[in-house]
Amino acid sequence: MAQIDIKGKAKSTILPSINLVNATVEFPIYNARGRSIRSTLLQRVGGTVSTEADGVTVTALRDVTLSLNHGDRLAIVGHNGAGKSTLLRVFTGAYEPSSGSAQVVGKVASLLDITMGMDPELTGAENIILRGVFIGMSLEEARNSIPEVAAFSELGDYVNLPMRTYSSGMTLRLAFAISTAKSPDILLLDELISVGDSGFAAKARERIERMMNGASILVLASHDPHTLRKYCNRAVMLSEGRIVAEGSVDDVLKAYGADDEVDGSL
């Protein structure tokens, strides 16, 4: 029987941690045995596909055992479809293992889907509350964060207008400001996102780096070897949903065959 335990805020005597034991994540897709559908599923979640009598099953992660503790900065590498995003979503609790177990102790912040939970028909201020509660703030915390989030996102009077009136850049600035309003115990990143024009992007990068430095545990999936070497102290490599290499960042990148001279070589 699969187990997943997201503990929330760690007690003062318990340091944040992540422990996966033989965690497997499967997605059964019924009445969907077409080759094109299988291909689409693989592109979205990675892993492997097996055919059953009543459909197909996508195995996005297979028997993953991994422990992260205070001070760990984990790099995740692998080809597109290797299972990186699925693993990150297991850490957030969004995906529950089909078998094995996943235990996460500590407050988790994820910059994977920063607009999730937002409603274009609501005002910016209302979305600050909605998204804030969605990512784990109390209602009071979300309401109290409105002035700071509005100021950081540089929305001005637009904060009181429906989000559907915003440009895409304004929406992303707001979503980023909400998602980074509080410092987490565990920070999960899928690439270092860049938001807005050069001025705002610099401010956003400074805020992300402050969160990274303050987090007890950092997990970063990236296609940039330089970024992984700069911020991480250990690494794993995924292939078809399995961990196939684990160790120092340099050793795992070498095993992967990363080329420092070419961005996006991972």
pLDDT, tens digit, 9 for 90 and up, residues 18-73: 999 999 999 887 665 555 555 555 555 565 655 555 568 889 999 999 999 999 99
Residue 190 forms part of a structural domain: yes
Q: Is the pLDDT of residue 4 over 60?
A: no
Once rounded to an integer, what is the mean pLDDT over residues 100-129?
A: 94
Q: Which of 111, 94, 87 is nearest to 20 (CA)?
A: 87
Task: Judge if 94 and 177 occupy the same domain.
Answer: no
Q: Give the chain's domain count.
A: 2
Task: Judge if 63 and 135 occupy the same domain.
Answer: no
Q: Which of 46, 48, 51 is nearest to 32 (CA)?
A: 51
Task: Judge if 102 and 130 occupy the same domain.
Answer: no
Q: How much is the pLDDT for 196? A: 77
Structural domain including 32 reads: 3-106
Spatial separation of the C-alpha atoms in residues 209 and 109, rounded to whole Å: 14
Task: Judge if 37 and 93 occupy the same domain.
Answer: yes
- Phi, psi (deg, nearest 5) at residue 89: -75, -25
Q: Note whether 138 and 8 are within 8 A (CB).
A: no
The domain boundary, picked from 44, 71, 106, lies at 106
Q: How much is the pLDDT for 11? A: 47
Residue 247 forms part of a structural domain: no
The neighbouring-strand residues paired with 8 are 106
Q: Is the pLDDT of residue 202 over 80?
A: yes
Q: From the CB of residue 120, how many other CB atoms can be counted at a distance below 10 Å?
A: 12
49 or 104, greater pLDDT: 104
Task: Judge if 141 and 86 occupy the same domain.
Answer: no
The domain boundary, picked from 72, 106, 140, lies at 106
Once rounded to an integer, what is the mean pLDDT over residues 86-96?
A: 93
Q: How much is the pLDDT for 1? A: 47
Q: How much is the pLDDT for 85? A: 92
Count the alpha carbons within 13 Å of 85 in the hemisphere toward its beta carbon.
14
Q: Residues of the chain with pLDDT > 70: what percent?
A: 82
Q: How much is the pLDDT for 136? A: 86
Q: From the CB of residue 35, how many other CB atoms can be counted at a distance below 10 Å?
A: 8
Q: How much is the pLDDT for 223? A: 86
112 or 219, greater pLDDT: 219
Mean pLDDT for the chain overall: 87
Q: How much is the pLDDT for 52? A: 56
Residue 45 forms part of a structural domain: yes
- Work out the pLDDT band at 261, boundaries 50, 70, 90: very low
